[in-house]
């Protein structure tokens, strides 16, 4: 499998995202045993980076990851996050879910406490990459210098190895670099959602920061498994994705139809081509792919092993550009 270098260690270019494994309102009930099987299948299949966060099921995702990695912790890198809290009134209001009020808080005090909680849930004494989940809001501002002070302190203590930033802006990322650098940024990115890399890619490349994509399959939109008559279930995570709006969804289906010859050429599903397209962006890019079953994991792994020709990459990019234009025209 292709690899990516983060800080001073190598990871597989395709990583496993454990948001859905947290379950809850957005993702529905999960069978934790199947989730554990999926994580172990990922490790057996060559995936060496597992990403989670405290906010995924209010700690549940981390607990499941910890159980799955019992006895094989040394085979993988773990990334988790800080900055979204639900057990305190301190912080800026973000959203509510299942009776919990989620707040943004990147103060030094909160970050240090959060990490200790994460280490306990993950059953480990360190995490390989510690990521700030969302930037602070004006209602509870925290200087980047304070946040970075907490992260560098934890790094000096050996409790984290590398530092990441998620859902950031060019200005925010530049502040992190000025205050002590970062090793990874994690942003929403797919063949249909490219704004983040256009805004942040040059800064990341200039500072040797890995660009990690989340939602590369657009919550299943690009898998090809959702028919044209598909409707989003009330309360699901897909309600948050603008690509499931009627005109955009229809344009995506048209795009996937154009990929059918490539599916035959590479003996691959549309979602695997979408992952291969990201993997082809280079060794400073990581594709974070969510999965809840071993079957989904193996499908994602295959996507990371496909080597697309330059002509086919250009073709896929062109079809995506046309789909975006068609979506915009229909609005």
Q: How far apart are CA 296 and CA 300, in angstroms?
A: 6
Taking the whole predicted model, whether its pTM rises above 0.85 is answered as yes
Of 134, 283, 111, 149, nearest to 204 (Cα)? Answer: 283
Secondary structure (3-state) at 78: strand
Annotation says 93 is catalytic: no
* Residue-range domain boundaries for the chain: 3-330
Task: Output b/e per residue, 247-271; b: 16+ Cβ within 10 A.
Answer: ebbebbbebbeebeebeeebebbbb
Tokens of 87: 């057990």
C-alpha Rg value of the chain to the nearest Å: 19
> What is the fold, at CATH topology level, of the domain defined by 3-330?
TIM Barrel (3.20.20)
pLDDT tens track, the chain, 331 positions: 899 999 999 999 999 999 999 887 667 778 999 999 999 999 999 999 999 999 999 999 999 999 999 999 999 999 999 999 999 999 999 999 889 999 999 999 999 999 999 999 999 999 999 999 999 999 999 999 999 999 999 999 999 999 999 999 999 999 999 999 899 999 999 999 999 999 999 999 999 999 999 999 999 999 999 989 999 988 788 888 899 999 999 999 999 999 999 999 999 999 999 999 999 999 999 999 999 999 999 999 999 999 999 999 999 999 999 999 988 877 6
Q: How far apart are CA 270 and CA 308, in angstroms?
A: 13
- From the list 56, 176, 214, 266, the catalytic residue is 56
Q: What are phi and psi of 230, to 5 degrees?
A: -65, 140
Other beta carbons within 10 angstroms of residue 301's beta carbon come to 23
């Amino acid at each position: 499998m292709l690899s990516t270098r983060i800080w001073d260690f190598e990871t597989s270019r395709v990583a496993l995202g454990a948001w859905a494994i947290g379950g809850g309102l957005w993702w529905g009930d999960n069978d934790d045993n199947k989730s554990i099987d999926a994580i172990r299948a990922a490790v057996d299949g060559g995936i060496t980076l597992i990403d989670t966060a405290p906010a995924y099921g209010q700690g549940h995702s981390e607990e499941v990851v910890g159980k799955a990695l019992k006895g094989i912790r040394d085979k993988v890198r773990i990334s988790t996050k800080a900055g979204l809290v639900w057990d305190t009134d301190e912080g800026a209001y973000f959203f509510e879910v299942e009776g919990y009020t989620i707040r943004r808080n990147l103060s030094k005090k909160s970050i240090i406490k959060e990490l200790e909680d994460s280490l306990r849930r993950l059953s480990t004494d360190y995490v390989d990459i510690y990521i700030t989940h969302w930037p602070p809001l004006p209602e509870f501002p925290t200087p980047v210098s304070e946040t970075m002070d907490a992260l560098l302190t934890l790094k000096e203590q050996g409790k984290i190895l590398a530092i990441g930033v998620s859902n950031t802006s060019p200005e925010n990322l530049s502040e992190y670099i000025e205050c002590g650098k970062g090793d990874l940024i994690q942003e929403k990115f797919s063949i249909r959602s490219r704004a983040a890399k256009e805004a942040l890619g040059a800064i990341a490349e200039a500072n040797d920061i890995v660009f990690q994509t989340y939602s590369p399959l657009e919550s299943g939109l690009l898998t090809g498994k959702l028919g044209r008559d598909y409707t989003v279930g009330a309360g699901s995570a897909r309600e948050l994705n603008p690509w499931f709006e009627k005109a955009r969804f229809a344009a995506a289906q048209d795009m996937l139809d154009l990929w059918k010859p490539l599916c035959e050429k590479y003996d691959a599903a549309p979602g695997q081509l979408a992952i291969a397209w990201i993997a082809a962006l280079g060794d400073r890019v990581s594709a974070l792919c969510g999965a809840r079953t071993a079957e989904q994991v193996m499908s994602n792994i295959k996507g990371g092993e496909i080597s697309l020709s330059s002509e086919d990459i250009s073709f896929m990019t062109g079809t995506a550009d046309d789909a975006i234009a068609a979506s915009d025209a229909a609005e």
